[in-house]
Structure formats: C-alpha cells, structure tokens
Structure 1
Amino acid sequence: EHLAAAAVATVTITYGTSSTGDHFPVPANDVACAVGFAATAVPDVPVTVLGHSAGAHLAVLVGLDGAPGPLEPTATPRSTPSPTPRPGTPEAEPCPHEARDADAVVGLAGPYDLVRAERFAYDLLPLPPDEDPAAWAAADPLRHAALRPELPVLLVHGADDRVVPPSSTLGLADALRAGGHDTAVEVLPGVDHLEVLDPSVVGDVVLAWLREAVGAP
C-alpha cells in the first residue's frame, strides 16, 4: 500500500515452499514467472523484485540469474486470477508469461549465504550439498554475484535482527560489488527481522532508492 500510494504499480505474490510440498527450483520459478506477469501487465515500466527474508533470497537469485530451470514446470503466480494447480499434478500448466529479466532488486533481511543459513537452506533444498551439489550451487546467490552487473540492488537489514544476522546482507553486498553491481546497503538501528518489513520503517528508504535506481515516480 505504501508503494501503491506513491504511484508505484505493485504485484504481491505467493510462491511454493516446503509447507506446500515444493522445493527448489519451484519457488524461484514462481518468482520468475511473476516477473514476466508484471512486465506483461504493466508494459514499458521497470520491474523491481522485492522480497523479505526467504523472499529476499529468491528476489536476489531471480534478479541475478532469472529462472533457475525452464519455466514450463511453474504455475501461474497465485496472486493472479484463476491460479493453476501446483506443479506435479496432471492439471498443472506452464507459466503463461514470457521470461523477462528484472530491472532492479530489493532484499530485506535475506538469508543469502546458504551454508550459514542451514535451517532455511534445508527447507529450500531437501538434500544435503554433498548429495545435490548442482542444486545448492544454482540456489546460492553468492555464486551468481558476478552475473548481470548492470542490475542495481538495494539490501536492507535491521541491526537488531536475531533471526538472520546483518552479516548476511553485508556479505552479499561485498560479493555484488566485487561483481560490478551498484549495491546500496541500509542497516537500520533498533530494527529487528519483522520490523524491517514495516512500511513506516522501510517504505521511504525503498521509494527513495527506486526513484534513483529506476526512475520510479
């Protein structure tokens, strides 16, 4: 609502998780499909992917590398009308939207380092890295930090986050900058893991950056 009130067209989505029986690459493909949907729904407007916590990991991953697998197994974003069944069911349909690169990424309190974020990683990737190294590599934003150096990124973290430490954001920022990305970082004093999602805390920070990075209203 904060973004929409500032004349920024906004699409809110959900994506497959372990609680719905989905694991990587399904969640990332869902996000990639949503990027295509947004680009189709609002043509000729830059598309920014914004996510919080696990969603921030996916936003950065998809921003850097697009869909990690073919879009065919991906269901329509469940925020759009008449969502299709989940992948793996006979009625599942491919993503109906053409693949499109995101123009910018905003990550809020994301667990970007899969090695350090073990609990999150095993929800996303059910097999350990020694049994499925290719999936772990594909799901790790740090390994893709040199891709698409033209992609601007804003990373925001609460200094008092006890769920995902701010070092996660700082480590990714270092990797992105080494890869040539214009990367802005905001560590907000006195803010915890959930408060960083509060529009009264982060809304103006995001809007100011969007105006500079992609020319938002």
Structure 2
Amino acid sequence: MLTGCAPATPTAAVVGALALLLGACTAGSGAEGADPASHEYRPGLSAHPHVPADVTSAPVVVMVPGGSWRSAEPAGLEPLAEAFADRGVFAMPVVIRAAQDDVVHPTPVEDVLCALADGAATARDEGIEPERLVLLGHSSGAHLSALAALAVDDYAPRCEDPLVVPDAVVGLAGPYDIRRFADAASVLFEDGADRDQWDAANPVLRAGERPEVPFLLLHGDLDDVVPPSFSTQFGAALRAGGHAATVQVLPREDHGSIYSAEAAAEPVAQWLDGLDGPASDEG
C-alpha cells in the first residue's frame, strides 16, 4: 500500500507537481479475477464486482479511484472491495476515463453514473436486490462521486444499463472545492474554461442540492496531499444544505492509507448499516 505520496503541504505552487503522485496513490497491486468475472460496463471501461455470499439484498457500492483527474486505475481499491464483500456489501471498483484518455468534464462524471447503473444491474443478475446505490470515491474520485450525486440532473449519459440515481456517497480524502486545488483540477476542463464551468463542477458550491442524499467523509489526519480541511469544509456546507453529513478524521492515516481495508472497511460498513430506507428508483 502506498502511503505518504507527497512530502509537502499543497499550495497553488506545488499542487501541479503533486498531480502525477496523486495518480499513483490509488494505484497498487490488488486482487485479480473477481467473482463474477470482470466485465466492460462501457466500451473499454472495466468493472470488477465483489459479491457477498448468502445474501439476497445488500448495499451496492461502486468504487471510483483517484488519480488527480489524470488517470483512474482501481487496482488499489480491490482489498477494500474484498473487505466490503466479507461484510455483506456488493462492491465494484471501476475504471473511468480521465485526462490521459483525452476527455474532460462531463465525461468522467458520466462514466461514474454508467458504472453505478451497471453495478445495480450486475447485483440483480447475481440475485441481490440493491438496498442502497452508493458511490465511493478516493481523492479525485471522491470529487467526481460527490458531483455525480449532487448534480445528477445535469448529466444524461448513454449507458448500457438503465440509469439509476445515486442515493448515498462515501468520500475518502476528496478535494471537494476545486478552487482550492486549481492547478491539478485544471485538467478536468478544456483550456479557457470559464468560471461558470468551474462552479458547475464544484461540489462545495452545489452542497444544497439533493439534500436527501447522506454523505460519509473520511480523511486521514496525516494527509499532506489533500488536507483534512477539504472534508471538514465540505461536511459543513452539506449540513448547511440540509444533508446528513458525517465527517471522520482518522488518526495516523494519510492520503494513501485512507482507502486501505484496515482504515476504511469498518467505518464505512457501520455507516451503511445505519442508513434507513430503500435504494433510489431507477431514473
């Protein structure tokens, strides 16, 4: 597991230099050959389901990797997905497109929504009815997951499965205010993108939308890549917007360890157990 991906507190001057390091943070050696077999949910984009045993209903958690909006390799999320399945959660890390694929916003968010649609359909194919449709993201993947849940009505992707509405979000060390992470986040946009485009893709500015969606935000107190203040600020904005938002700053965790099974599996599973109500209707 990679930890301590960058040595310095990010400022506008150094965030650009950290961008590639952020891409490495979520990458890692993970399990291969998930059951059922990995598959494409969109052409060229893979999903890796981990199915809990002996359940007929479960939360469906689609897991979106970080990569500073430049890449999105989910291998490092596999141990956490396995730990979720052991706890009765259907978990599915996915590949989404990023700047290295010559795409910009809204394409990465559309991929996230198609992955969630595939997660719901795959769970049902396995005889599991979704209890909740949850997006979990790390770093830039947390930003994209939050945006997909809050601003879902802005997007109309063409997916291979019926669209569904995300109804809960777990964010791990997310840069939710992209104004504060502008050097790295600039790759999310075409050159010359205006303020309105940036604001539309900024979760902290959209925290008042879809207040029925609960959020769990986890952050490590040793994170020197994306400081914990990003989560505490976003949590406050969400609560002001009417959301149920839980923020946990975990001791002795950093940007690379926050998505480990040891750090995240139990608090996320406990939070999911505490959520009431059925999954959202398909949209």
TM range (shorter): 0.7 to 0.9
Match for 1:8: what amino acid?
V
Aligned twin of 1:21? 102
Aligned twin of 1:2? 83
- Structure 1 position 69 matched with structure 2 position 155: yes
Tell me which of 117, 133, 137 is aligned to 2:195: 133
Aligned twin of 1:182? 244
Q: Per-residue deviation at 1:189?
A: 1.3
How many Å separate the matches in 1 of 2:140 and 2:252?
21
Match for 1:163: what amino acid?
V
- Structure 1 position 36 matched with structure 2 position 117: yes
Q: Per-residue deviation at 1:215?
A: 7.3
Asked if 2 retains the 8 angstrom alpha-carbon contact of 1:106 and 1:153, the reply is: yes
TM-score for the superposition, normalised by structure 1: 0.83
SS in 2 for 1:195: coil
How many Å separate the matches in 1 of 2:154 and 2:94?
18
Asked if 2 retains the 8 angstrom alpha-carbon contact of 1:29 and 1:67, the reply is: no
Match for 2:93: what amino acid?
T
Q: How many residues align?
A: 192
- Structure 1 position 58 matched with structure 2 position 144: yes
Which structure 1 residue ranges, 5 or more long, are not aligned?
A: 73-94
- Structure 1 position 172 matched with structure 2 position 248: no
Aligned twin of 1:101? 165
Asked if 2 retains the 8 angstrom alpha-carbon contact of 1:63 and 1:101, the reply is: yes
Tell me which of 110, 118, 123 is aligned to 2:182: 118
SS in 2 for 1:196: coil
How many Å separate the matches in 2 of 1:139 and 1:151?
18
Asked if 2 retains the 8 angstrom alpha-carbon contact of 1:59 and 1:105, the reply is: yes
How many Å separate the matches in 1 of 2:188 and 2:276?
30
Q: Per-residue deviation at 1:186?
A: 0.5
How many Å separate the matches in 1 of 2:161 and 2:150?
19
Indicate the percent of aligned positions where both proteins have the same amino acid.
38
Provide the aligned C-alpha RMSD in A: 1.7
Aligned twin of 1:11? 92
TM-score for the superposition, normalised by structure 2: 0.64
How many Å separate the matches in 2 of 1:162 and 1:124?
22
Q: Per-residue deviation at 1:115?
A: 0.6
